[in-house]
Amino acid sequence: MPTVSEAASRLARLLTGQAGAAGLSDADSAHLEFLGQVQPVPLARTAPPPDCWAVDGGQALVADARSVQVAVTRAARCRWQAGRCSLEDEGELLAHVLIGPDGGAEGRRSLAELGAPVAPGDRVDLNLLRDWSEWQLVSRCVEEAEPGALVLVDGDLQPDWRVPADWLAGLLARAADRQVALAGVTKHSSLARGGAPLVGQMELEAEELLGPRACWWAPIALSRAELGPSQLVVVARLDPDARFAFRVDIPGYCDPEGLLGQLSALSDDAAFPGYPYPLSVADRLAACPEWLRAEVWSELEGALEQAGVPEEVTQRAFADRHSLMERR
């Protein structure tokens, strides 16, 4: 029978490169064309962009009866100019009812109200609702940004697979026309080499090759043509004091080294070295913590009571039986 010790032994071989094949892969995407051997090169920090927007989204499951769920989402953004935040917008909190594995008519109604260009028969879930709200806000930022601006997205530059590729192509075309750059920054990448996390391996290799305080970047892959305009996927360490490097996705119309130099200038905050500070602000604004979930649940209970639903019916539907049956 498999034991923890045996699992640790197999994991050790994987993490130290002794597990065999060393090909590049991405567990979350089958649409990347990898560039072969990756090599980190030095990155020079330049001036920050004159105008920077950052977008992130949050979600929380408020009530779960398994067959029906109530969840909230929101998309938040901040604007960074002249070394400070000139805008913090936590976004409107949106409530969704999802019925069954495909979201049901209520889930599709939420998606339709958000104006998503998704096929009518596609399954609707919480991830799609949050993701589309984020991309709507990214589109607004592109329209409101000044020429020469940078718009940052939390995660890669691919919307949910149910959003048609031509929608993203249109967004990138508008951004290029307005001279607005986009970049997606992934906090926890699924890029791998030989099954082991690629970013962590590259951090160690770059330290040995370039020194412990070097900023660097390395091209990793290109997105495939069926996803619309080409994008370059890189791994970059953006600050000399950073513990971690990050995956960054860059549209094909942008100069990757120039964009990363600007991004590095936004990544020198003492609290978050190596991660763009505007994105950390957007992350904070978009968060849906436990206290927010409790507030929404309280509001939901009150509204159900006003609608004539007996308290016992609500409790029987949404009570967390696992929590009630746990013995401490």
Q: Where are the domains of the chain?
A: 41-286, 290-322
Mean pLDDT, residues 90-116 taken together: 92
Tens-digit pLDDT profile for residues 275-315: 999 999 999 999 999 999 999 999 999 999 999 989 888 88
132 in Cβ contact with 160 (< 8 Å): yes
- pLDDT(324) > 70: no
DSSP 63-113: EE-SSEEEEEEEEEEEEEETTEEEEEE----EEEEEESTT-HHHHHHHHHH
What is the per-residue pLDDT for 316? 86
CA-based end-to-end distance of the chain? 30
Classify residue 308 as left (phi > 0), alpha (psi -120 to 50) or beta: left
Confidence of residue 325 (pLDDT cuts 50, 70, 90): low
| Average of per-residue pLDDT values in the chain | 91
Cα separation, 136 vs 75, whole angstroms: 9
Which of the pair, 321 or 134, is modelled with greater confidence? 134
Tens-digit pLDDT profile for residues 124-174: 999 999 999 999 999 999 999 999 999 999 999 999 999 998 999 999 999
What is the per-residue pLDDT for 177? 96
What is the per-residue pLDDT for 10? 84
Task: Answer whether CATH 3.30.70 is correct for domain 41-286.
Answer: no
Mean pLDDT, residues 63-87 taken together: 93
Mean pLDDT, residues 189-207 taken together: 90
What is the per-residue pLDDT for 328? 55
237 in Cβ contact with 245 (< 8 Å): yes
- pLDDT(202) > 60: yes
Confidence of residue 227 (pLDDT cuts 50, 70, 90): low
Confidence of residue 193 (pLDDT cuts 50, 70, 90): confident
Across 5-14, 55-64, 75-84, 183-192, least confident range: 5-14
Confidence of residue 226 (pLDDT cuts 50, 70, 90): low
Mean pLDDT, residues 97-116 taken together: 91
Tens-digit pLDDT profile for residues 232-287: 999 999 999 999 999 999 999 999 999 999 999 999 988 889 999 999 999 999 99
Mean pLDDT, residues 67-84 taken together: 94
